[in-house]
A and B are shown apart, each in its own frame.
Chain A
Amino acid sequence: MLFYSFFKTQVGQQVTVELKNDLAIQGTLESVDQFLNFKLKDITVVDEERYPHMMSVKNCFIRGSVVRYVQLSPPTVDTALLQDAARREAQSTQQQQQQHQQQVSKSTTAASS
């Protein structure tokens, strides 16, 4: 949940979301959810001419799986804290994996016995 936690701190900031289909949308991040779907407010498309159909769109909902990049502004990010959070996340993932492996071995032994 690291990215989710991270983007929650970005709510209200200006971000530029670049999608996998090369469409880049700039707007204010309104909200984010656990799947990293984004809702943007007052958007402008970065390359206006290529996407005339977006001219009238003011707010949008972007499914998380189509996002390629999200461009942020550096002052809003606390990199030291982010490093710490990433380390904790890595630790907890490791622990989870170990637990799963234990479960797996338990179930295999249970199945084999």
Chain B
Amino acid sequence: MSGSFFGPGIGLPDDAIARERTSFHRQNHNVDLDARLETLALGDDGLGEALEDDQDDFNDETFDADLREITGKDFDFYQSTVSSHAGAPQQQQQQYQQQQYQQQQYQQQAQRQTQPALNDAQSGNKVMTLAELEARMLMQQQQHRQQQHIQQQPSMPPMDFGRKLADPEVVARRKRDRLQRQMELSKYDNMMSRHDKDYIVRIQISQLLTDDPAADDFYCHMYQLSRGTMFGSGSLPQQTAIQNNGSQDAPTSRPSAETPASGNPGQQPMVEQQGKSEQSPAVAGRSLNSHGSSSSNDARRSNSSLGMPGQSQNHPHQHLGRSHRSNTQSSMARMQQQVQRIVNEAKRRPKAAHVAAEGALGRISVNSARNPKQVIQVQQRGHAGSISQSDAPRNSPLPATHHDLGGIFSGMGDTRNPASERRKTLRSIENVYTAVLRLEQLIREQVRLPQNPDHPSVQQWLAMYSEAKERAWSELDASQPISNTYPHPLVRFLSFSKGKRIIPRLVHHLSIDQILALTTTIIANFETLDVCRFGSFSYSASGSLVAMQQREETDLFLHAVMPPTLAFLAETSLQIVNGLFALFMERNNIAWVARTRPALAFLTVLLGRSATLRQAGAHAYGAQPDAQEVYQSSELYNHLFNSLRGNLVSIFPPSSTTTSSPAMGQAISPISAVSTVSPMEDLHAWQFLATLAIGASVEQQHALVSEVREKVLEKVMLAKSGHVPIDIAMALTANVNLFLNALGLDASQVAT
């Protein structure tokens, strides 16, 4: 089928060659290879000769046309509307020196064409006919074009990279073509005046404006602040300088999704235009680039940040080489003015999301990017967070896969409705978050306040600040009397991971007393904390999801909640330490709780602090502790020791204890046992033991050593055996040394 495209006798070239060979004798014995190939290539089978060729009589009539005649003869709509023959663009090119003469020509023609009544000098008379108007516009246009033409000529070096460089004709031709194309493209340039363009830009920018740039662009702004170093050193000083201005009011700063940070550098070009030369475009450039498409793009390039591909985030210091610096500066300045004007107008006439005319029967909703059309309509029932009574009490605890494990308390709420308890707690957590966010926002704004403390705004700020703090504190509910509800609201609060996470941020704003109250409550209810109820090392199944979650929660607790309290402990007086210590031991079952890492950490710090205070005597933090206090702390110590006696080994992670029974000398079992446990697991335990040892009397030390002897030996053996990598061995040794050094011993002294 495909073989017959060129004719019935023609097949693939191979076939042709084959045929050729066989028909060699029939055809002309053409030894010339070229001719043969040609016949093959052209598929010349002689049929061409058989074609009738005598029907060409009417060709000339049909096709007779001179190329020169028909080129350039497109219907010229423009010309026919302007009766003045505007001396077409083609003439323009060649005669730009005679511009003046041409102008006069046009004007005369225009005048000739128009009504005599309206005919007048070109610029004097306001009333012009359409034709005159067009003639004028055209003139202006051509002026512009000529200027551009003159400008661009020097800036277009021959760009032929050597291909046919030497050939001047080609170069000239190319240049001419390029010019020609450019002329054609720019024939309708500059139709909009600057005012028109500004008008459009204003409309577009107004879509982007916001009342509260700090709120609307919060994520982006804070993200860039927190990762400021990534965007190059240039932006940091900028940002710190800007931060001092804090978040400004909408009218004064550049509004819209523009951050307050970029407000200043944006305004700088305007102010500094007269003054600094290098700095302002650089600043503007950097601000443009470092804040990237974030802030500056929004307002400054309103027809979207999409329009400027050259300034991507990847090159923060890519200098604005595309346009002339003056260009950028002036356009920036104009953008500034735009924004100012829009802001002022917007303030005068606030835009509502719904428009209801007087006497109309309904509302028209105005959709913008900020309040888009809702696909799902959600009705607000009552007030948010109301506890719905219709929920059936849940019999089964929440599924274990629930990440925050708040369900651990689901069966223990004091109301009949555990679900509502949970929701109440979550609601209070969110309230605390709201208050903390408010506090942080206030702190950010604090830098703006005037230095004078009597200024009313300062006092107002103080009032707001303390109010928010109060709210946060009351929501936290740390000071509720201990035995009221079980579990304590604070404990419930902390059973959620987001509750744990907000603590350090909140503590930052709290007073010492409040922190003390917080710590007290935590200690008093330590047993009931979720992290303790997990049991630190007794994971349900060490690889399961639940175990991992438990571990995460514990870690989170240790990293988020503990540090503030521990820091507090490390700085208080012996009296308070004693009190807390006593409380701890009184309210919690030490032996049981000591298995948990948080408790160990607490005890370690408590012990350490009391030891320090006892020994240091006159410390900076207060007078020398009373003899009574010292006595008390020793008593407490003894009490602790006695309650832990005999159980000390149990504070270590279980995977080690279970295998500690086999004979110590064997190298095999310790490896399999301990290699599953990294050295960091028992770090807490060793630290605790070390602190314990510090305060121990000789007899107590003996007791200590005898109890943990096996453990120590095991670790040291493992480290020396060489079956574990060197760094783990070193870590193991270091851990053991924590304890041994406290006793005055060292791991190297241990008889292998």
Residues on A facing B (Cβ under 8 Å): 1-2, 4-6, 8-9, 11-12, 28, 30-35, 37, 39, 41, 59, 61, 78, 80-85, 87-89, 91-92, 94, 96-97, 100, 103-104, 107, 110-111
Q: Which residues of A lie under 8 Å from residue B623 when comparing CB positions?
A: none
Does B257 contact A100, Cβ atoms closer than 8 Å?
A: no
Q: Which residues of B lie under 8 Å from residue A34 when comparing CB positions?
A: 207-208, 257, 298, 369
Q: Which of B224, B363, B369 is within 8 Å of A104, CB to CB?
A: B363
Contact status of A2 and B219, CB under 8 A, knowing A8-B293, A31-B293, A96-B371: yes
Closest-CB distance, A97 to chain B (whole angstroms)? 7
Pick out which of these stretches binds chain A: B85-93, B351-359, B551-559.
B351-359
Does A100 contact B216, Cβ atoms closer than 8 Å?
A: no
Q: Complex formed: what's the CA distance from A88 to B436 in Å?
A: 11
Can you name 17 A-B pairs with beta carbons within 8 Å? A1-B210, A1-B369, A4-B369, A6-B219, A8-B292, A8-B294, A11-B292, A11-B293, A30-B312, A31-B297, A32-B293, A34-B369, A85-B222, A87-B434, A89-B218, A92-B215, A104-B363
Q: Which residues of A lie under 8 Å from residue B369 when comparing CB positions?
A: 1, 4, 34-35
Closest-CB distance, B508 to chain A (whole angstroms)? 14
Does A1 contact B370, Cβ atoms closer than 8 Å?
A: yes
Closest 8 CB pairs of A and B: A12-B313, A85-B219, A34-B369, A5-B220, A5-B219, A33-B304, A1-B216, A8-B294
Closest-CB distance, A20 to chain B (whole angstroms)? 14
Closest-CB distance, B373 to chain A (whole angstroms)? 11
Q: Which of B293, B380, B433, B501 is within 8 Å of A97, CB to CB?
A: B380
Q: Which of B219, B358, B371, B384 is within 8 Å of A9, CB to CB?
A: B219
Q: Which of A8, A31, A33 is within 8 Å of B220, CB to CB?
A: A8
Q: Complex formed: what's the CA distance from A48 to B314 in Å?
A: 27
Q: Which residues of B lie under 8 Å from residue A85 when comparing CB positions?
A: 218-219, 222
Q: Which residues of A lie under 8 Å from residue B354 when comparing CB positions?
A: 100, 103-104
Q: Complex formed: what's the CA distance from A83 to B437 in Å?
A: 11
Q: Does B223 contact A (CB under 8 A)?
A: yes
Does B306 contact A39, Cβ atoms closer than 8 Å?
A: yes
Does B437 contact A84, Cβ atoms closer than 8 Å?
A: yes
Q: Complex formed: what's the CA distance from A5 to B446 in Å?
A: 24
Q: Complex formed: what's the CA distance from A39 to B301 in Å?
A: 15
Q: Does B305 contact A (CB under 8 A)?
A: yes
Does B226 contact A81, Cβ atoms closer than 8 Å?
A: yes
Q: Complex formed: what's the CA distance from A59 to B306 in Å?
A: 12
Central interface residue in B215, B309, B352, B371, by most chain A CB within 10 Å: B215
Q: Which residues of A lie under 8 Å from residue B308 when comparing CB positions?
A: 31
Q: Complex formed: what's the CA distance from A80 to B223 in Å?
A: 11
Does A81 contact B434, Cβ atoms closer than 8 Å?
A: no
Does B216 contact A9, Cβ atoms closer than 8 Å?
A: no
Does B312 contact A87, Cβ atoms closer than 8 Å?
A: no
Q: Does B404 contact A (CB under 8 A)?
A: no
Q: Does B134 contact A (CB under 8 A)?
A: no
Q: Which of B257, B292, B363, B501 is within 8 Å of A1, CB to CB?
A: B257
Does B226 contact A78, Cβ atoms closer than 8 Å?
A: yes
Closest-CB distance, A105 to chain B (whole angstroms)? 12
Does B352 contact A4, Cβ atoms closer than 8 Å?
A: no
Q: Which of B212, B218, B297, B501 is within 8 Å of A5, CB to CB?
A: B218
Does B312 contact A61, Cβ atoms closer than 8 Å?
A: no
Q: Which of A88, A100, A110 is within 8 Å of B218, CB to CB?
A: A88
Beta-carbon contacts under 8 Å, B275-312 to A = 292-294, 297-298, 304-306, 308-309, 312
Closest-CB distance, A10 to chain B (whole angstroms)? 9
Q: Does B217 contact A (CB under 8 A)?
A: yes
Contact status of A94 and B384, CB under 8 A, knowing A1-B370, A8-B292, A82-B219: yes
Q: Complex formed: what's the CA distance from A96 to B370 in Å?
A: 11
Contact status of A31 and B217, CB under 8 A, knowing A11-B293, A107-B356: no
Against A, the Cβ 8 Å flags (1 = close, 0 = not) of B189-218 are: 000000000000000000110101001111
Q: Which residues of B lie under 8 Å from residue A88 when comparing CB positions?
A: 215, 218, 437
Closest-CB distance, B73 to chain A (whole angstroms)? 37
Q: Complex formed: what's the CA distance from A88 to B247 in Å?
A: 15
Q: Which residues of A lie under 8 Å from residue B501 when comparing CB positions?
A: 80
